[in-house]
A and B are shown apart, each in its own frame.
Chain A
């Protein structure tokens, strides 16, 4: 459990500058919050490239392979049907379903991997304790740092103010 210190910033530049500062000089776990994605925010917080494209590719290829194998097994091995003299294993006619299933499985993979990576759904989070944080999804720009050492909390709040936060709120660890 930890204390959360939140600060609201006036502008995007100040927010990202503060995030960079806190991460690089104080080695803190920083998070910024904004109503829409900000340019350069991922870098400021120090995030690595998302793994989602890899999941999408692997899932898509597996889905397509599976679909092809099902069609091949059912229509060419298990119960071959002669349709207009076409060979039982007729690759071109299996293409549409192979493609569509690849897209479907890839779509599901992206969707569920996204929520898994974001650890959502998560009904409660300490930042929701701050009434002013409601603005973060409307027009507010917020920054949070987390500390396990409760003696650090006041110092960090001071630090956020010094970096230009116009309001600072602290969510204390519940006993």
Chain B
């Protein structure tokens, strides 16, 4: 039997209850067709307020320059880069779920891929702001593109920073195309099940006239698979390239060959943390508990546990190599990380990223929503602290003690972090209001496949 298909002896189903295709469509679309709830407006206004803080922080940065941030020399990269790496890492779970699990034919991805992919898009949008603002003169961002110009000069492609520009913009573009291609059949269902003329026209425009004909599915299936295949190396390459920003420098704590795999594992880890943080309340509020079941939470928690162990291995190796290299500065970086002025950040990340996920060895904890949610929030915090430790703690005490300095963020730094979180939340609320959080098409396909294997859910 195909291991990806629901095991009849397994007590947790992929689709709970008995639903036909019509019932599933109705359930998945009901949050879109029903009247806007008060709770949604409340959160939306809150999110807009937070986005206002983002606007204020960005305006200050543009008007006063990077001087309004807490950055100094030697801490020339600080919260801006920490936030960038954190956000871009969060995006990686979406691509892993939608692309890698698609190629591995893990059926359980069908119910959560839309959710995770959307999270990827919004996370990369937030991430993209930071390097651009960090340019100091963001209005010259187009200088990063190699175009013939009067200055007679080109970007310097031997630096990791132009690699980053290409990697992140490719990542966003391919994720967007993949997301939209997967969304079109659902937009057609929305067009066909809408009751008002306006909605029918709007969803109809975005559905492009999709009819679900064999010819269309024939090419669509291949396109979806190919885009999945293209997105798969992106999961690995994007965060690898981000880690090169650090790894190809000379700084103790950065100059290390373990960075690429360690960054990728951390990215997937933090991304799954964010998916869980969002999906646990959303599945309840939207009434999607029958399609996003405890089985999905259980599986995601297993990925969290596995990636947590990989990240822990990374921490262990960094420490070991710091000692084994015999380099005084490398070893000092390790000691300073653990016992220096920012030691609390290091121990916070150990507790959040290494210790807390160990609870997931127990099945009862993996299916306990409250504990899972708390751990997922801790992972988000832990991964942010990890990036803070890598960026700020490595920089603030480099080689010569005479050049050391302490780092203190300003309100603009915190405003940007808080503001992007709010902006992300606002976009997500809009997504939940206007688009199906779960791919109705793929869940119906999943239901059919499960039924063909004689498990669960026949037409109700």
The answer to whether B445 touches A83, judged by C-beta atoms less than 8 angstroms apart, is no
In whole angstroms, how far apart are the Cα atoms of A75 and B188 in the complex? Answer: 48
In whole angstroms, how far apart are the Cα atoms of A137 and B24 in the complex? Answer: 12
Whether B230 is near chain A, meaning CB under 8 Å from some CB there, is yes
In whole angstroms, how far apart are the Cα atoms of A111 and B152 in the complex? Answer: 35
A37-B221, A134-B193, A137-B185 known; A74 vs B226 contact (CB < 8 Å): no
The answer to whether B442 touches A36, judged by C-beta atoms less than 8 angstroms apart, is yes
In whole angstroms, how far apart are the Cα atoms of A114 and B230 in the complex? Answer: 15
The answer to whether A35 touches B158, judged by C-beta atoms less than 8 angstroms apart, is no
The answer to whether B222 touches A74, judged by C-beta atoms less than 8 angstroms apart, is no
Contact of B146 among A47, A70, A106, A135 (CB under 8 A): A70
The answer to whether B237 touches A99, judged by C-beta atoms less than 8 angstroms apart, is yes
Task: Give chain B residues whose Cβ lies under 8 Å from the Cβ of A135.
Answer: 192
Contact of A107 among B154, B189, B227 (CB under 8 A): B227
Whether B217 is near chain A, meaning CB under 8 Å from some CB there, is yes
Which residues of chain B from 145 to 174 have any CB-CB distance to chain A below 8 Å in the complex? 146, 152-159, 162-163, 166-167, 169-170, 173-174
Task: Give chain A residues whose Cβ lies under 8 Å from the Cβ of B445.
Answer: 36-37
Contact of A35 among B21, B153, B181, B209 (CB under 8 A): B21
Task: Give chain A residues whose Cβ lies under 8 Å from the Cβ of B218.
Answer: 37, 41-42, 47, 50
The answer to whether A31 touches B221, judged by C-beta atoms less than 8 angstroms apart, is no
* Least distance between B33 CB and chain A CB atoms (Å): 13
Task: Give chain B residues whose Cβ lies under 8 Å from the Cβ of A41.
Answer: 214, 217-218
Name the residue on A nearest B24 (C-beta): A139
The answer to whether A107 touches B177, judged by C-beta atoms less than 8 angstroms apart, is yes
The answer to whether A125 touches B230, judged by C-beta atoms less than 8 angstroms apart, is no
16 A–B pairs (Cβ distance < 8 Å), ordered by A? A50-B222, A52-B219, A53-B222, A79-B152, A81-B158, A103-B234, A104-B170, A107-B178, A107-B227, A110-B230, A111-B180, A111-B223, A118-B220, A120-B210, A125-B209, A138-B193
Task: Give chain A residues whose Cβ lies under 8 Å from the Cβ of B192.
Answer: 134-138
The prevalent SS among residues of B at the interface is helix
Whether B35 is near chain A, meaning CB under 8 Å from some CB there, is no
* Least distance between A141 CB and chain B CB atoms (Å): 10
Task: Give chain A residues whose Cβ lies under 8 Å from the Cβ of B158.
Answer: 75, 81, 83, 86, 90, 93
The answer to whether B157 touches A120, judged by C-beta atoms less than 8 angstroms apart, is no
Given A50-B218, A83-B156, A104-B169, output 8 extra A-B contacts at Cβ < 8 Å: A32-B213, A38-B217, A45-B214, A71-B157, A118-B219, A120-B216, A123-B204, A136-B192
Whether A127 is near chain B, meaning CB under 8 Å from some CB there, is yes
Task: Give chain B residues whose Cβ lies under 8 Å from the Cβ of A50.
Answer: 218-219, 222
- Identify the B interface with A (CB < 8 A): 20-22, 25, 146, 152-159, 162-163, 166-167, 169-170, 173-174, 177-178, 180-181, 185, 188-189, 191-193, 204-205, 208-223, 226-227, 230, 233-234, 237, 241, 244, 441-442, 444-445, 448
User: Could you say which of B163, B185, B223 has the most chain A C-beta atoms within 10 Å of its C-beta?
Assistant: B223
* Least distance between A98 CB and chain B CB atoms (Å): 9
Task: Give chain B residues whose Cβ lies under 8 Å from the Cβ of A79.
Answer: 152-154
User: Could you say which of B156, B177, B211, B244 has the most chain A C-beta atoms within 10 Å of its C-beta?
Assistant: B211
Contact of A120 among B21, B209, B221 (CB under 8 A): B209
Number of A-B contacts (CB under 8 A): 186
Task: Give chain A residues whose Cβ lies under 8 Å from the Cβ of B215.
Answer: 31, 45, 47, 118
In whole angstroms, how far apart are the Cα atoms of A34 and B448 in the complex? Answer: 12
The answer to whether A96 touches B226, judged by C-beta atoms less than 8 angstroms apart, is no
Task: Give chain B residues whose Cβ lies under 8 Å from the Cβ of A104.
Answer: 166, 169-170, 173-174
The answer to whether A114 touches B146, judged by C-beta atoms less than 8 angstroms apart, is no
Task: Give chain B residues whose Cβ lies under 8 Å from the Cβ of A175.
Answer: none
In whole angstroms, how far apart are the Cα atoms of A171 and B268 in the complex? Answer: 51
User: Could you say which of A35, A74, A93, A121 has the most chain B C-beta atoms within 10 Å of its C-beta?
Assistant: A35
The answer to whether A136 touches B208, judged by C-beta atoms less than 8 angstroms apart, is no
Task: Give chain A residues whose Cβ lies under 8 Å from the Cβ of B180.
Answer: 111
Whether A153 is near chain B, meaning CB under 8 Å from some CB there, is no
In whole angstroms, how far apart are the Cα atoms of A62 and B456 in the complex? Answer: 48
Task: Give chain A residues whose Cβ lies under 8 Å from the Cβ of B204.
Answer: 123
In whole angstroms, how far apart are the Cα atoms of A111 and B182 in the complex? Answer: 11
* Least distance between B4 CB and chain A CB atoms (Å): 16
Name the residue on B nearest A16 (C-beta): B214
Q: Mark A21-48, 1 if CB is under 8 A from B, else 0.
A: 0000000000111111110011011010
Task: Give chain A residues whose Cβ lies under 8 Å from the Cβ of B155.
Answer: 74
Contact of B448 among A36, A45, A78, A120 (CB under 8 A): A36
User: Could you say which of B146, B156, B157, B223 has the most chain A C-beta atoms within 10 Å of its C-beta?
Assistant: B157
Contact of B230 among A81, A107, A117 (CB under 8 A): A107
Task: Give chain B residues whose Cβ lies under 8 Å from the Cβ of A71.
Answer: 157
The answer to whether A110 touches B170, judged by C-beta atoms less than 8 angstroms apart, is no
Contact of B209 among A31, A106, A121 (CB under 8 A): A121
A52-B219, A137-B185 known; A100 vs B237 contact (CB < 8 Å): yes
The answer to whether A118 touches B146, judged by C-beta atoms less than 8 angstroms apart, is no
The answer to whether A103 touches B233, judged by C-beta atoms less than 8 angstroms apart, is yes
In whole angstroms, how far apart are the Cα atoms of A45 and B216 in the complex? Answer: 12
Contact of B173 among A96, A107, A117, A122 (CB under 8 A): A107
In whole angstroms, how far apart are the Cα atoms of A56 and B210 in the complex? Answer: 22
Task: Give chain A residues whose Cβ lies under 8 Å from the Cβ of B193.
Answer: 134, 137-138
Which residues of chain A from 57 to 97 have any CB-CB distance to chain B below 8 Å in the complex? 60, 67, 70-71, 74-75, 78-79, 81, 83, 86, 90, 93-94, 96-97
Task: Give chain A residues whose Cβ lies under 8 Å from the Cβ of B25.
Answer: 35, 138-139
The 10 closest A-B pairs by CB, nearest first: A139-B21, A74-B154, A121-B208, A122-B209, A37-B217, A134-B192, A36-B445, A114-B223, A107-B174, A104-B170
